[in-house]
Structure 1
Amino acid sequence: MIDKRDQLEKSLTDDADRPTVAELKAFGVVLGKTLFSGSVNELFYAASRRHIQITLCTSDTRLKQVPWEYIVWPDVNEGPHARRTFARSVPVSNGEERKAKSISNSLIAVLVIGADVLGRERIPWNETKENLERIIGARMQGLSTARITMELVEGATRKTVRDALEQKPYDIVHFIGHGRPDGIFLRGEGQQRGVVLPTDAFSKMISDAEPALVILSACDTALIKDVQPLGTIAETLVRSGVPAVVANQLPISVSSIADFTGALYRSLLTDGNIDVAVNKGRIALVKEMEGLRSAPIEWGIPVLYRRPGCSQLFTP
């Protein structure tokens, strides 16, 4: 299963042949049979007409490397299922649930951090910003929608991000840029070249601000290797106190990030459930790539890590 994950990554980065729709579904069925076997599988199907939230919790590094997000079942089409969500639960020493914030009675504050750095593939920041503003602007219309503010830190450096987080509390922190398993890229002070903000420093900066959700629209922020005994950036953030983190376990294009996060925001700001919102984002990616001969691998790239009992971040 890990070898299959490596093949998927190769098809995204080296222009190798992508798996067909049938091949990706066959892999998803294997994942399903691995997690749900025997009487457990029978129980699952007995309950499958209802909405099912599946959470996987493991401390085994090899099991973490498996791309479980591609799980499907023989009775459904390829791709994510509308009524079956999937998340990774991070074991934490302090398992207290965080009370969900009311969408209708409170202001939802979003901080968007953009870091387009030299030496890395250009991120169309303006287009991405306009897309987010359009989504959030649409949510501000009507009588029963959440009241939202969105503030932007462009060309982000360590200092500008820290200053923004210290000025006011945010419910959602959304980073758009480049990442790697051990940190994210920000601009160096007074320059456009990127410098890595290590995972521990980034986690401390974010956890002190106490957001309900962190979205890392950057490659490899959910990628785990054998040399990472403590896990991914996303896992580290959850352990430090962030209820939920959305990151990426493989390289992903900016256009896919826009489609995914657009659907995620729309769902989250309506229903408040992060498991459901991530699933809506995955479904949106599949719809955007309908009709292609090769499989839409992108839908399984985003990964949701969260604390136990923290799927409902906001209440309608």
Structure 2
Amino acid sequence: MERDYLDFEVSIESTPTGQVARVAASPAGGGSAAFALPFSAVELAQFMTAVGPPRVASRRLVPAETRVMDVKDHGRRLGDALFAGEVGRLFRESLSSAKQQGAGLRVRLSLQGAPDLEPVPWEYLYDSELGRFLTLSSHTPIVRSVEALDVPAPVQVTAPLRVLVMISSPSDLPELAVAHEEKLLRATTADLVKSGRLELVVLTRATLSELQRALIDTFHVFHFIGHGGFDQGAGEGVLVLEREDGTSHRVDASRLGTLLHDANGMQLVVLNACEGARTSGRDAFSGVAQAIVRQGLPAVVAMQTEISDRAALVFSHEFYYFLTRGLPIDAAICEVRKAMATSDEAAEWGTAVLVRSGLDQPFDVSALRSTAEPAPEGRLESLYAAAQSSLASATPQTAVPILEQIASERPDYADVTLLLDAVKAPPELQELPPPAGPARSGPTPRPQTPPAPPPPSGPTAPPQGPPRVTLMPERRTGSGWKWLAAALALLLVGVIAFIVWAASLAEDPTPLGPSAGPSAGPDAVTVACGPVADIPRAEAELLVACAPTPPIIDGRFDEWAGVTGVGIDAVIFPRSGANPHGVHGTARLLWNRDALYVQADVVDPVIIEVDESQPDQYWRGDSISFEIGPDARELGPGAGVRNGRDRHVIIGVAPGGAARGAINTAAGGDFPPGGAVPEIEAALARTPDGYLIEARVPWAVLGVDPPTRGAVLAGQVNISDARLDPWNHLAMISSNPDRIVQRRPGAWQPIILGDVS
């Protein structure tokens, strides 16, 4: 299934008078036209979140929820901007020429002259005249072209295509379920492995030394699953591997490329890390994908946004299926996009970025055609078997995306629909085990609504009885025993879960976690947060839940699962509403009689650290902050701050991956410079698109006596976005759209110290 291509080579370059799109080579000749990106920074950020998964377990450190609906409109605007004027004319003529020759037209896009355009999702280019997205057709693939110093010759592949898999989940970053990831990958490629076309070798440890030892053998593909991001300080992309002790090891592309470009047979890298294709916006080779290609590997496929389990299932199978069928890698990626676009309603089909050097294909897989074609039902059978295995091993969170994918392709396959209903319907089985951390993402709509009580802690939640299943006619010959086995497996899971849960209660009747719920016991809640009280309600309130078991400030963030978040999305400075970096976030608050606990997930693509020598000025660097003081509901809008009683607390992103706390206390009707407060415990984790922060702020440093349930304070939570040159405040985003003047507590939000959530 070969496909020949003619090339339409277009580069975008920055000039003193603006950016220019230049056609360097095409069937119709060369030419140029002015180019202007048709999006603002905020619109681009919205576009990137729009094309991600709507609700997923993701490989991104901070999943995104805020999204725009019309991806086609964004793609059309981008396509109209690129194919304007002379460039558009050459593109039309080149399409016609390619069609006459029975070939496809490959768009080779070079952004080396305009690296600030690398983050743009060019894979969603929509052509208004063709009426379709270019990359959803193998006739018009889009490749990001990178010039390499040394392009290796194609490798002759004899069966099988060998893939070296590394799944990295360091102990000091948000957890990635290694067994879950491996099971998904093996399940979706089992039919290809069985046919002899593909071999997966999974590294037992995700260390750099383990990778070096493994590469002594011949492998054709390196497939990485894990955390990826961008090191703002070094100005380059990184993959997060593990050290020997299991902690994170940020490995830049040059070090990784040193091993990969010298490996025997290695021609392709697949990066299932959300920002593997991102660059600094200054150097087109600073991203992991670009740097690896520049160092000598012919091709890298990297993910430019988060990717869901469902999308990963389709991507992995279809990519390796079409690759081993002999399709050029450009066409294989297009076929993968089509499969993803038709298997789900999400727009994740453009997530993968193909970065290439040279014109030749990296592989010659003609020898693989002599191997057996995978059985038509083989893939569904392997997926179904993996789902049953997951159910039997009490890991339904792995089974759900597998069953959903089977149901999307063949809703009448065996008892898939029945199993999905059984697994997803009972609340006790929807999240087993409990999630490792909160949904970290963009703004949460106001007003707040408390989340449903989390399941009791312990290895699994206690079911209220076996799932209700109704005997149904067999959907396929021979499926009855499979239904019975699945039902028995679910029943067994419930029995075991109940025994484990009961045993855990016998040892400790108080479930762990900051939002333990009513089952935490009245005595524990009373000790932590005072006696029962009527909880007042107010407009635009911040309702803070009691934490009988407070979170540990260690930078792991898993204890914030289930805590309701409040969106930080109101631009209150500058007055124009400009938000150049598209900064936003979500804050979560907890309390007990000892301290106030604050956690924030911040999306900020450009991190500028605070100056530790100026703690009172932390707000000029990237930071979170909150004003806090006594109840201010009776104050007029013009009332000033209350001397010695109102405080401005700032927790800044400090050098070395640290977080630092400082307080400015009201005096003279203002917030004069204060100083660092070592009693504030704070921890930070950098993410690909921002940072996570958590802090414990004792009531004593806030000048507040130990409060009790029902107490009302005043304040709001803010994010400061900094500029580097000159170092200063660029924008401030707040949970309170009425926070126009900081020194007016009458406009602050009521902070209500409530009960357990």
1:8 to 25, 36, 47: 47
Q: Call closer, same or farther: CA 1:230–1:188 in 2, change over 3 Å.
A: same
What does residue 180 of structure 1 align with? 229
What does residue 164 of structure 2 align with? 111
**Aligned-residue RMSD, C-alpha:** 2.7
Cα distance between partner residues in 2 of 1:35 and 1:277: 31
What does residue 73 of structure 1 align with? 127
Q: Call closer, same or farther: CA 1:117–1:34 in 2, change over 3 Å.
A: farther
Q: Call closer, same or farther: CA 1:237–1:35 in 2, change over 3 Å.
A: farther
1:202 counterpart = 2:252: no
What does residue 99 of structure 1 align with? 154
> Which piece of structure 1 moves more, 170-179 or 118-127?
118-127
Q: Call closer, same or farther: CA 1:251–1:140 in 2, change over 3 Å.
A: closer
> Which piece of structure 1 moves more, 127-136 or 236-245?
127-136
How many residues get paired? 303
What does residue 335 of structure 2 align with? 280
Cα distance between partner residues in 2 of 1:59 and 1:22: 26
What does residue 694 of structure 2 align with? none
Structure 2: 5+ residue stretches without partners: 1-36, 53-62, 231-236, 367-757
Structure 1: 5+ residue stretches without partners: 291-295
> Which piece of structure 1 moves more, 33-42 or 275-284?
33-42
Cα distance between partner residues in 2 of 1:268 and 1:288: 19
Provide TM-score, normalisation by structure 1: 0.84
Secondary structure of 1:303's counterpart equals: strand
Q: Call closer, same or farther: CA 1:269–1:36 in 2, change over 3 Å.
A: farther
Kindly indicate whether structure 1 or structure 2 has the higher relative contact order, using CA contacts under 8 Å at least 6 residues apart: 1
What does residue 683 of structure 2 align with? none
What does residue 238 of structure 1 align with? 293
Cα distance between partner residues in 2 of 1:263 and 1:176: 17
1:221 to 276, 279, 293: 276
1:40 counterpart = 2:93: no
Q: Is the 8 A contact 2:168 2:206 kept in 1?
A: yes
Q: Call closer, same or farther: CA 1:227–1:88 in 2, change over 3 Å.
A: closer
Q: Which has the higher helix share?
A: 1
Cα distance between partner residues in 2 of 1:86 and 1:305: 9
Cα offset, 1:66, TM superposition: 2.8
Secondary structure of 2:261's counterpart equals: helix
What does residue 688 of structure 2 align with? none
> Which piece of structure 1 moves more, 300-309 or 9-18?
9-18
What does residue 80 of structure 2 align with? 30
Cα offset, 1:206, TM superposition: 1.4
Q: Is the 8 A contact 1:115 1:154 kept in 2?
A: no
What does residue 249 of structure 1 align with? 304
Q: Is the 8 A contact 1:123 1:254 kept in 2?
A: no
Q: Which has the higher strand share?
A: 2
1:96-144, Cα deviation, whole Å (9 max, x unpaired): x512424xx44422111111223444334334323433444312455xx
1:147-185, Cα deviation, whole Å (9 max, x unpaired): x3221114412222222123x121111111111132111
Secondary structure of 1:88's counterpart equals: strand
> Which piece of structure 1 moves more, 210-219 or 41-50?
41-50
1:51 counterpart = 2:75: no
- The residue identity in structure 1 corresponding to 2:228 is G
1:305 counterpart = 2:355: yes
Q: Is the 8 A contact 1:179 1:219 kept in 2?
A: yes
Cα distance between partner residues in 2 of 1:268 and 1:73: 27
> Which piece of structure 1 moves more, 131-140 or 56-65?
131-140
What does residue 116 of structure 2 align with? 62
What does residue 199 of structure 2 align with? 149
Provide TM-score, normalisation by structure 2: 0.37
Secondary structure of 1:266's counterpart equals: helix
1:123 counterpart = 2:173: no
1:25-62, Cα deviation, whole Å (9 max, x unpaired): 43353255259734313313414644322211231213
Q: Call closer, same or farther: CA 1:40–1:165 in 2, change over 3 Å.
A: same
Q: Is the 8 A contact 2:226 2:273 kept in 1?
A: yes
Decide which structure has the larger Cα Rg and report it: 2
- The residue identity in structure 2 corresponding to 1:221 is G
- The residue identity in structure 1 corresponding to 2:317 is G
Cα distance between partner residues in 2 of 1:175 and 1:36: 41
Cα distance between partner residues in 1 of 2:309 and 2:192: 22
Cα distance between partner residues in 1 of 2:106 and 2:316: 20
- The residue identity in structure 2 corresponding to 1:250 is T
1:274-297, Cα deviation, whole Å (9 max, x unpaired): 11111122222212223xxxxx33
Cα distance between partner residues in 2 of 1:165 and 1:38: 45
1:261 to 316, 341, 349: 316
Cα distance between partner residues in 2 of 1:263 and 1:31: 32
- The residue identity in structure 2 corresponding to 1:259 is V
Q: Is the 8 A contact 2:104 2:140 kept in 1?
A: yes
Cα offset, 1:235, TM superposition: 1.2
Cα offset, 1:72, TM superposition: 2.1
Q: Is the 8 A contact 1:248 1:302 kept in 2?
A: yes
Secondary structure of 1:173's counterpart equals: strand
